Structure 1
Amino acid sequence: MRQESYRSDIDGLRAVAVIAVFLHHLNTSLLPGGFVGVDIFFVISGYLITSQVFQEVRQGSFSLKSFYQRRINRIVPALATVLLVCVVLGAFLLSPVDLMRLNANALFALLGVSNIFIWLKYGNYFAADAGEAPLLHTWSLGIEEQFYVVWPLLVLLVYRVAPRHLLWVLGGGLVLAIGVSQYATGVFATASYYLLPTRFFELMLGGWLGIWHLQHTPRVGRMTSLGCSLLGYLLIGASLLLLSEGAPFPGLNALWPCLGAALLIHAGASGGPSPILGCRPMVFVGLISYSLYLWHWPLIAYLNYLEVPMTFALGCGVVAGALLLAWLSWRYVEKPMRRSGVKLGFAQVFARRFAVPALGLALLAGVTQQFSGFPQRFSPQVLALEAMTLERPAEIRRGCHVPSGLYRTEPDDTCRLGAAKAAIDGILVGDSVANHFSGMVDILARPDGISLMDYTLDSCAPVLGYNGGMPGAYADHCAQRNQRVYALIEAKRYPYVVLAGNWPNDESVGPAIEASLARVVASSGQVIVILRNQPIDKAATCPIRRLMFGLEHPCEAAETPLPQYWAQIRGKYPQVRFIDPNQVICPNGLCSPLIDGKLLYLDNGHLNEVGSRFIGQTLLERGYSLLKDPRPQVVSTNAPGKADRSN
């Protein structure tokens, strides 16, 4: 903002945004919806930058060079400082694979496409491994920079073509962008969280408000200001407390905090002092908010990586450390660089402050990739275990296993498991858990000469009428996919059907599972059910970190009992075969992610390809196959919660 248009209340609103994000990252239970602080930032950014751009457009002085020069001076110096510190720390602390990811992420963060990289490499923002990525938070910078490649040109174009209807045209575009976000969030949840098209309306809302304020000088009365403030606080407060990681986002759920931010900005448009947002502590935090946002997450992520518990005392230390680093960064990096950047030409700013750091990070990322993350820093076993985590069943069988948005994908006869032959004997159906068992099924099907078609879908257990609390669009996709699967089974009457999934622990779902199995039993020869493997906290990382840092804490977990509905189903359908992967994972009731030097897990609940095949091979060596069980069949008569695993 120019000094003459400076608004302390907007810096206070920045403070609200960064404090919300910080508290959420320290402990999600403190502020379940604290992640909406980023959306508040988007509205503020859209308002301030669009106001300046539109002012210059009206005066005929707008220049893309000057605009991007200001963006480089504002964004890059503090960002490059944090990136440098992170990659230096990473060279000492991170495993080879994680170091390669970090250095690549640093380059893409500077280039403004970190959101795309993080979406492809980490997936869900709230996933366990994402919580250890030091530059995870740079996804929001990618959204902003991509927005400002498009937005100034769009404003300029509409202003020249239809200057009198600018607000109406942009308003219509805003409504359309909200609709796109709501629709896409229900279809492609993970991509929608990270990518610009579904976030566009958040910055656009602030931009539209900025243009409106310039075209219609706001004179907000005291009562109107009070009403807007109260409603704004209510919308933001409700979002912070009522939203959670499981809520569909962005879409309409993101609209409410964005409207709250816009209302608070509008409430302060007449220049009156804001007793909350305009107080000195809030303004101070707002002034350093960009640096605070940049610094706070790497501190938390590296502590997560080192598996240091976030106690209250440590949390206070992280807050104090982040505030100190943010103030130093603001005082000695942000302010001087902005001042000196005004005196330089565009070519000098671009070369010195963008091109040179980008080339340096590109060289670093390339060298790190070339030397495989410098594995000599740790024992050879660390690299061997990490290589196993890269064996992802969903990528190995891409097209056979698909995300929810591709639920209409037709069965593919070339998606084969088991014996190599022309005829198809059966089908494997289920969700991502079924997919991660595909390596195990491939091995167990071969001795019996069985060839199966792999046909699995994310987030879709093979249970008719069960949605597992999924968002509406996902539940609808799963319902349609299961109807297709069961119709296919009934039409083809396969000799063999293998069902696997993230079977729910909720006993009330038992009747739905039983009814689903009854349809399969009536329409096929042999039905095989693969029980769910034991989830283990930090299953994919704990064994590696123990080797890296000499940690003593255990990586094992106690085996949890099966839901009682399985005993009832076994009693009613003794012809159904059950395969239990926990016979390998959980010897003597203690489940380990590392067995005989093989790291079995991809994350807390999913197996990697190496682990899946290791379990299959181990079962095979013990006399099992898809159809054979060396133990006598026993129908469980155990007490509830202790269903017998043999069949």
Structure 2
Amino acid sequence: MLVYRKEIDGLRAIAVLPVILYHAGYVNIVPGGYVGVDIFFVISGYLITSLIDMEIRQGTFSLIRFYERRCRRILPALYVISLVTCYFAYQRMSPGQLEDFGYSLISIITFSSNVFFWWKDDRYFSQLNELNPVVHTWSLAVEEQFYLVFPLLCLLFFLAQWGGNIQMISKRTFYMFFQHSWASFYMPIGRIWELLLGSFVAFYSRANDSIVSGKSIGMRAQVASVIGLSLILISIMTLDSRSIPPFPNCYTMVPTFGASLIIIYGKHDTLIGRLLSLEPVRWIGLISYSAYLWHQPLLVCLRLGPISLMTISHMKSVIVIILLLSAITYYSIEQPFRNRTLFSRRVIFGCSAAGAVVLYFVAVFLIHTANYRTAFIEKVTDNRSVIIDSIMRNGSLTLKEVDTYLADIEPMELSNYVTRRFDTHLKAYPTFSKQSANTKRRLLLIGDSFAQDFMNMIAETNSLQKYEIRCYYIRFQCQIYMGDEDRLQWIASFHRSLCINDHKIQSAIPMIREADVIILAGFWLRWSAIRLPRTIELLNLTKSQKLLVLGLKNFGVIDLKKYMNMSYEFRIQQFQQPEENATEVNTIMKQSFSPSVYIDTMGMVCVFKNNTCPIFTPHGKLITYDGWHTMKHGARYVGDIIFSHYPLNQL
């Protein structure tokens, strides 16, 4: 018989709380909070394997009963919370967001949300996923896929052992195939080993009979369980996704092995076992599934609201609300549906099928709604002349009818617009062409995302037509620097490996020698800005070559939600001060370079009262989505200004 262990529920609490805190924005406190999902995988593998193994040995295993238990455990709460999320998605999401949400619902009911998010390449650790209320269901899909396959594998393994040893010999060498790192994150092939680690723990525990029989193994159990909890806490506190390779990787073994040690050795009579068995800890573990389901939709609901509530004080209240809702869901939905006297097998399968059908039709409705909203916006946008005529005839037109603001702030567009043109140009034209030496002047643009931003300004304003433009990318973490000092001393330790042999301006010197004009654009840091004159001096440019330095631009803190439901009149009156660090760095650079070299973007754009910067163009279009980089309309607006002023107007 499978022994119930209170400490496993406590381990669930240790897994779910860091995940909630991480997604709530406490990244500086729990930078590795996301590893809670990996701990869940180990727990799940252990429990499922233990149950299947016990029933196979007792001769009572039933595949249909196994799937019935999974339906009872997973689907009722998942379907209810998904339907609640649909209401807020319909009310608050932009067309693109709503369409993606609709497709993600379909992926949930087909147990393939991990495949969907991998295909969309939303990138779990990016800020964009803060606006996806169901991205966290990828881990459920991995488990569901494991559940569908693993019982069959167990049966096949049993039959293979019963039938004798069967060897399959292949003359071909097998090589692990390459897959994108984000596929490893989302797909079972990158996660299956974590579930299997839990399976091995189950087999090891049975073979050693240390848990089922309750035998004490003394000091070894105490030490091993303490080490296990320490490994988990170290992972939560140190495995910052910004400084390590994408998960899963070798670091993933730290929390998963920690969880394994606790499962094997953290019995009820150990210190760790007693701590994890405390009623408050165990209670959080009991509601952990509902808490995992609730946390992301609630957080996204706040982020999509018209007013930002994502402060630390608000987050504390939100976490309490998550736990309360989770408790309600656990007692009113999870527990009743697990009761076979209340819901028979036929009923639970019928309810599961009905829930899937309802979610499917809701998803189709949301997708249709999103397409209608998008079509309406496009129709209005494509009929600008009709709108102008209407205004001329009637004197006015409802601003809401012509507002394309929602279409301008689609999340994926915000993410891709800045980089797309620069990166495409870089790949297509890695060097100057031989013909251009006689037909066109050559311009080399060097830098990071600010160079990418500048490339968009060139394109949106149709500037620099007489130049053959080439690009060279240097990550902002590495900075544009050349000198006697080692730049690694100013670079964060977790970025140094990127900057040792790559992302340095020395590698661009062959192209610099061929260029007539060199433009340096970057997210300048104080240390590199101070040393930039020396860097330029060491480039040894000829007198015929012209060099320009693009200063920092910043429009202050941007709150997309704040502007979403505001009128055109409200938007064009929004001005604010740039951030102090941008102003400080620009002051250093302005003092270092003459006006013929330095492009003072902020000095040209932020010319309103008290040197404030506009947030919207005169046409009510958002200039920047993060305060630093421009959107399409912003690139055109800023580009028109700087290309009409000295020194760019001389090119």
TM-score, length-scaled by structure 2: 0.76
Segments of structure 2 that go 5 or more residues without pairing to the other structure are: 166-174, 378-397
Inter-CA distance 500–65: structure 2 relative to 1 (3 Å threshold): farther
Report the CA distance between 1:125 and its aligned residue: 4.0
1:440 to 438, 457, 481: 457
Report whether the alignment pairs 1:206 with 2:202: no
1:62-461 matches, cutoff 5 A? 67-115=66-114, 117-118=116-117, 123-148=122-147, 188=181, 194-218=186-210, 219-244=215-240, 246-248=242-244, 249-250=246-247, 251-268=249-266, 274-306=273-305, 307-309=307-309, 314-340=314-340, 343-344=345-346, 348=350, 351-354=353-356, 356-372=357-373, 379-380=400-401, 383-384=404-405, 386-387=407-408, 389=410, 391-392=413-414, 394=416, 398=420, 401=423, 412=429, 425-442=442-459, 446-447=463-464, 449-456=466-473, 461=479
Instruction: Encode CA deviations 1:208-255: one digit per residue, 9 max, x unaligned.
Output: 212322344335513222112211222222333344453325334333
Query: Matched residues in 2 for 1:568 and 1:536: separation?
Result: 19
Q: Which residue of 1 aligns with 2:636?
A: 613
Match of 1:645 in 2: none
**Relative to structure 2, which stretch is displaced further, 91-100 or 479-488?**
479-488
Q: Tell whether 2:604 aligns with 1:587.
A: no
1:14 corresponds to 2:12: yes
Output the CA distance in 1 between the equivalents of 2:359 and 2:495.
40
- Matched letter for residue 302 of structure 1: C
From the superposition, tell whether residues 581 and 313 of structure 1 become closer, same or farther in structure 2 (CA, over 3 Å): closer
**Structure 1 counterpart SS, 2:360:** helix
Alignment partners' CA distance in 1, 2:288 and 2:54 = 25
What is the rounded CA distance, in whole Å, between the counterparts of 1:520 and 1:118 in structure 2?
Answer: 48
Q: In the alignment, which residue of structure 2 is the partner of 1:495?
A: 516
Look up the SS of the partner of 2:629 in the other structure. Answer: coil
Classify the secondary structure of the residue corresponding to 1:606. Answer: coil
Given the superposition, is the C-alpha separation of residues 122 and 212 from structure 1 closer, same or farther in structure 2, using an over 3 Å criterion? Answer: same
Residue 276 of structure 1 aligns to a residue in which SS?
A: helix
Query: How far apart are the structure 1 equivalents of 2:553 and 2:258?
Result: 44
Alignment partners' CA distance in 2, 1:414 and 1:493? 10
**Equivalence for 1:51:** 50
- Give me the identity figure in percent: 27
The answer as to whether partners of 1:539 and 1:601 remain within 8 angstroms in 2 is no
The amino acid of 1:209's aligned partner reads V
**Any idea what SS the aligned residue of 1:344 has?**
helix
> 1:16-46 CA deviation, whole Å, 9 max, x = no partner?
2222333444451554443332222222122
Report the CA distance between 1:313 and its aligned residue. Answer: 6.2
Deviates most, 75-84 or 473-482: 473-482
For residues 99 and 562 of structure 1, do their structure 2 counterparts lie closer, same or farther at Cα, with a shift above 3 Å needed?
closer
Structure 1 stretches lacking a partner, 5+ long: 167-175, 404-408, 630-647
1:286 Cα shift? 1.3
Distance 1:445 1:628, change over 3 A: farther
SS of the equivalent of 1:42 reads helix
Once the two structures are TM-superposed, the CA of residue 78 in structure 1 deviates from its matched residue by 0.8
> How much is the aligned-residue C-alpha RMSD, in angstroms?
4.6
Which deviates more, 108-117 or 370-379?
A: 370-379
**Shift in Å at residue 57 of structure 1?**
6.1
Q: In the TM superposition, what is the alpha-carbon distance from 1:626 to its structure 2 partner?
A: 3.7
SS in 2 for 1:537: coil
Quickly say closer, same or farther: Cα 1:453–1:552, change in 2 above 3 A.
closer
Provide, for residues 432-452 of structure 1, a one-character-per-residue CA deviation record: whole Å limited to 9, x for no partner.
332222111335673561121
Kept after mapping to 2: 8 A contact 1:498/1:530: yes
Mean CA deviation greater in 194-203 or 468-477: 468-477
Answer whether contact 2:32 2:235 (CA < 8 A) is retained. Answer: yes
Aligned to 1:598: 621
CA shift in 2, pair 1:216/1:568, >3 Å: same
Q: Is the 8 A contact 2:551 2:586 kept in 1?
A: no
* Number of residues of Structure 1 aligned to a counterpart in Structure 2: 598
Which stretch shows the higher mean deviation, 592-601 or 460-469?
Answer: 460-469
Cα gap change, 1:336 to 1:378, in 2 (>3 Å): farther
Q: Render the CA deviation track for 1:372-431: whole Å, top value 9, x for unaligned.
A: 36979993465335425564584587485179xxxxx85626999xx9x98572332322
Secondary structure of 2:598 counterpart: strand
* Counterparts in 2 of 1:457 and 1:30: CA distance versus 1, 3 Å: closer
Is the CA contact (8 Å cut-off) linking 2:443 and 2:469 kept in structure 1?
Answer: yes
TM-score with structure 1 length normalisation?
0.76
**Alignment match, 1:529:** 549
Give the Å deviation of 1:564. 7.2
- Which protein shows a greater Rg? 2
